[in-house]
Structure 1
Amino acid sequence: MTQTVGFIGTGVMGKGMIRNLMKAGYTLHVYTRTKAKAEELLAEGAIWKETPAELAAASDVVITIVGYPRDVEEIYLGENGIVEQAKAGSYIIDMTTSSPRLAVDIYQKAKEKQLYALDAPVSGGDIGARDGKLSIMVGGDEEAFQAVKPIFEAMGTNIRYQGEAGAGQHTKLANQIAIAGNMLGVCEAMVYAEKAGLDQHKVLTSITTGAAGSWSLSNLAPKMIDGDFAPGFYVKHFIKDMTIALESAEEMGLLTPALKQAKTMYEELAAMGEENSGTQALYRWYQSKS
């Protein structure tokens, strides 16, 4: 692969994505605020860049997956941000779950600089990132999407062009809305089974393959039962996603009562000291109320 890829963000998701890009043959430049978090990747062949500006200037394609919309805005639109420093003709791809409005703003400013901007948030958690099986939802110009599709294919399997700038973010927010309501049902079902004196694992063998089946029921319910609350996706980041989804829904005049309830419960969970736990830790909220 002749394209040099710059990647900003080496967290739970980023590390797996970077490794799969290197396996596919791409040269990887990396940056993260704390260099120690990138040391494993540097030992495996990634090349460190001191600033986002340096990384952008040295890369043909720049990918970001960071924490919050404010981080995205700073990295892309700041004085020494990606839009200002990237080479004309470069592709800039934000894979953070962020604001659709911000995605449109980045797209428009990038176009003025002869850059191709895509918003491409992902779903699949740490396991999907590690295994190269992420779902990738893409907004922006379809021609730009087709040009970098091989890069997406190194990281994911369910890759879909969703429409113009911001469409990828809107799709991801729809995903998070669906998960939010589902997580309440999964937790309530597991607490109910426990209170009824049932073997929760045995219950799962019956209900995961029926109409109640979902990814969360199959993958996160067993962790709840076993007391495994390690993060595949952080509570604090899920709260961020739900906040963005609520703001976007309100802009469209849409009522989302299940989403609002889930956000309130997750905020209470975070206040219990669980903000850095995985989203399955909502089970602890239910246990605290029992």
Structure 2
Amino acid sequence: MTKTIGFIGTGVMGKSMAKNLMDAGHQIHLFTRTKSKAQDLLEDGAVWEDSVASLAKKVDVIISIVGYPYDVEAIYLGDNGIITNAQPGTYLIDMTTSDPVLAETIFNTAENKGLHSLDAPVSGGDIGAKNGKLTIMVGGKQEDFESMQPIFEKMGENIVLQGPAGAGQHTKMANQITIASNMIGVSEAIMYAKKAGLDPVRVLKSISTGAAGSWSLSNLAPRMIKGDSDPGFYIKHFIKDMKIALANAQKIGLKTPGLALSLELYEELAENGLEDRGTQALIEWFEGNDS
């Protein structure tokens, strides 16, 4: 059964996610801070809404993928937010990478209003979003997850309910911790290959399918070698994610030296004006510090 879906946030990933839902036959109502970013979707038949409140009153399901936890809080909570204005029975799916505690707050507030809330952050970048092959990590009730499964399947392939509210966000933190150290390793491997006089493209052919293989090595290392730093995922958003992960690791008494080092390097890139580049631009730190 097709649904009327409200979609908030049409950035690098959100735009493709909304398009895949439209292609599946769902009616999409859109709200985003910059209307021009949604122009292609509007021309394809999406309906523009002037506010979050207006959108929330007209749809069966609301999906959001915005920038930061404070953006999530702003659109869900408060008099002009989603929870106040959504009709009872509406499903709320926040796919932003955000704070697990905030996800729990949204869930509890929504439940008190007769709404269904799921935190469902994603991984896979611009390529995964465009191809409908995102990994989706979900927190919430089993029955709500099952109800929204057909919608998730239009955006992703690896879709797992991880546990109660907040579990999706905690899983995404584990994902980002893994990527943080991996990006350092990928950058160092490329630099080593170059310094050793090897062709890094040929080196990738050998190592990307062996024990060193990873999504970053297969998808981002080629961009690094080409000098392509266009964002599939912004440095500024990765810094946000790493800070959330580091804060939560500290809460549970876990030391994460790899995460801390990666955050330090990326923050240096951001200070040098690269915060709107893709995460693969980490290679530029190593190039700039090549002695």
TM over 0.5: yes
Where do 4+ consecutive residues of structure 1 move more than 4 Å?
Answer: none
Q: Which has the higher helix share?
A: 1
- Once the 2 structures are TM-superposed, how far is the Cα of residue 34 of structure 1 from its aligned partner? 1.1
TM-score by length of 1: 0.99
Query: Match of 1:67, as an amino acid?
Result: G
Quick one: distance in 2 between partners of 1:49 and 1:211? 48
Q: Which residue of 2 aligns with 1:135?
A: 135
Amino acid at match of 2:76: Y
Residues 168-193 of structure 1: CA distance to partner in whole angstroms, max 9, x if unpaired?
Answer: 00001100000000000000010111
Residue 223 of structure 1 aligns with an amino acid whose one-letter code is R
CA drift of 1:78 comes to 2.2
Matched residue SS, 1:158: strand
**In 2: Cα distance, 1:12 partner to 1:209 partner:** 28
CA distance in 2, matches of 1:240, 1:114: 31
Gaps of 5+ in 1: none
Counting only pairs closer than 5 Å after superposition, residues 246-265 of structure 1 correspond to structure 2 as: 246-265=246-265
**Distance (Å, rounded) in 2 between the aligned partners of 1:46 and 1:126:** 21
Separation of aligned partners in 1, 2:222 and 2:150: 35
User: Which aligned pairs between 1:52-63 and structure 2 lie closer than 5 A?
Assistant: 52-63=52-63
Secondary structure at 2:57's aligned position in 1? helix
TM-score (norm 2): 0.99
CA distance in 2, matches of 1:60, 1:247: 35
- Please report the RMSD computed on the Cα atoms of aligned residues, expressed in angstroms: 0.7
The amino acid across from 1:3 in the alignment is K
Percent identity over paired residues: 63
Aligned to 1:148: 148
Distance in 2 (alpha carbons) for counterparts of 1:273 and 1:2: 44
Displacement of 1:228 after TM fit?
0.6
One-letter amino acid of the counterpart of residue 112, structure 1: N
Q: What does residue 277 of structure 2 align with?
A: 277
Q: Provide the residue aligned with 1:15 in structure 2.
A: 15
Q: How far, CA to CA, are the matches of 1:2 and 1:135 in structure 2?
A: 22
The residue type equivalent to 2:264 in the other structure is: T
- Paired residues for 1:199-210 under 5 Å: 199-210=199-210
Q: Which residue of 1 aligns with 2:64?
A: 64
Letter in 1 for 2:154: A
Are 1:169 and 2:150 matched, yes or no? no
Partner Cα separation in structure 1 for residue 273 and residue 81 of structure 2: 34
Rounded to whole Å, the distance in 2 between the matches of 1:155 and 1:51 is 24
Counterparts of residues 105-144 of structure 1 (less than 5 Å): 105-144=105-144
| Residue in structure 1 matched with residue 5 of structure 2 by the alignment | 5
Report the CA distance between 1:106 and its aligned residue. Answer: 0.2
Give the 3 Å change call, closer, same or farther, for CA 225–2 of structure 1 in structure 2: closer
Q: Quote the Cα distance in structure 2 between the aligned partners of 1:112 and 1:127.
A: 37
- Partner residue in 2 for 1:195: 195
In the TM superposition, residue 209 of structure 1 has moved relative to its aligned partner by: 1.3
What's the counterpart of residue 230 of structure 2? Answer: 230
SS of residue in 2 equivalent to 1:233: coil
Q: Structure 2 CA distance, aligned partners of 1:157 and 1:118?
A: 17
Q: Which runs of 5+ in 2 are unaligned?
A: none
Helix, strand or coil for the counterpart of 2:254? coil
Residue 2 of structure 1: how far off its partner (Å): 3.7
Q: Number of aligned pairs? A: 290
CA positional deviation for 1:219: 1.0
Q: Distance in 2 between matches of 1:2 and 1:273?
A: 44
CA distance in 2, matches of 1:244, 1:53: 28
- Residue type matched to 1:66 in 2? V
